[in-house]
Chains A and B, each alone.
Chain A
Amino acid sequence: MKEYTIKEIIKYDEENNRLSKDKIGDALNTGFYSLCLVGLVALTTSARLLTDESLYRVIFTIFSVNAATLTIEHAKRLAYTVARKANVENFKEELNKILQSKSIPKREYSIKNIEKHEKSLKKEEIKRTILVGVAGIASVLSLGNVAYGAFTENITTMLLNGALFTGSSIALHDQAIKLGNMLAEKAKIVLDKEKHDYYEEANKKEGGLSK
């Protein structure tokens, strides 16, 4: 093993930086992209270095649209080295296959265990998670101004006025809004900011929205 000694550390924000910030930026980008490439391939193998699917999508967008060819080529070369160190099998071939296909390989999950609700010791946690999940959908449907029929609208209204937007459930409210944003992104639904702000304001008042 080769050993290195640090002779000097130049902080990124240090005044009179002797290295150009652009160069540092390029190095960071290249390093990041190369790790992304390894992650991209590893996701399709058992190694699965990257597990966060949203990050994974960002990566693919960068490579499909934004990155300059030169950066990609540079990152690819760096990635070969990283992949070799990480023992990712058939890296070069797999990477080329993915980049040529220009589509995101779909993640597949196996179910390792099913814990039936009646046997669970975490019923309260489950109840809360379901409420957050439902409120998240209610949030996206309402703030997305999407009409889904009387039944759904009715539930949405009840959730927004009751469980979701009340002073006593701010944590739930925040979580549901966050979830709603994520769902909106998945469904490519544009949320109504004015309506969102109106609910936010109402939520600050004790008791939430009154009907």
Chain B
Amino acid sequence: MNIEIKDTLTLDDDKSYVVVSKVNYQNNTYLYLIEAENNDDVKILKLETNNKLTEFDNPELIKELLPLFLKESAKYIDFD
């Protein structure tokens, strides 16, 4: 499944999320999603091999992922 930053995903909760960032870390792919209509809804999910997205509760891992997410999506920001 080819998911890229800036794509919009509709999940089975019937909400649409913008892919703000995507990183590969320790052989896993993680997505940073924000709901398009309501930017208060933020999700950090792991892309499973069956193309499902799962949440996880691991603050240390999220701490590791945040700067990686930033680095990836910063490529798409126009600083001017």
Give me the interface of A with B, judged by CB distance under 8 Å: 48, 51, 53, 104, 106-117, 120, 122, 125-126, 129-134, 136-138, 140-141, 146, 148-149, 151-152, 155-156, 158-159, 162-163, 175, 178-179, 182-183, 186-189
* A51→B36 CA distance, assembly (Å): 17
Do residues A163 and B79 form an inter-chain contact, with CB atoms below 8 A? yes
Q: Would you list 23 pairs from A and B whose C-beta atoms are within 8 A, ordered by A residue?
A: A106-B54, A106-B56, A109-B11, A109-B12, A109-B13, A114-B1, A114-B8, A114-B9, A120-B8, A126-B8, A129-B18, A129-B36, A130-B20, A131-B77, A134-B20, A138-B70, A141-B67, A148-B66, A178-B40, A182-B40, A186-B59, A187-B62, A189-B63
- Given A106-B54, A108-B53, A134-B70, the answer on whether A129 and B39 have CB atoms closer than 8 Å is yes
Known: A133-B21, A134-B73, A140-B66. A113 touches B10 (CB 8 A): yes
Structural contact, B70 and A125, CB atoms closer than 8 A: no
Residues from 1 to 48 in B contacting A, C-beta threshold 8 Å:
1-14, 16, 18, 20-21, 32, 34, 36, 39-40, 42-45, 48
A164 CB to nearest B CB, Å: 11
Shortest CB-to-CB span from B13 to chain A, Å, is 6
Asked whether, in the complex, the Cβ of A111 is within 8 Å of the Cβ of B44, the reply is: no
The answer to whether B62 and A186 have CB atoms under 8 Å apart is yes
Residues of B near any A CB (own CB < 8 A): 1-14, 16, 18, 20-21, 32, 34, 36, 39-40, 42-45, 48, 51-57, 59, 62-63, 66-67, 69-71, 73-74, 76-77, 79
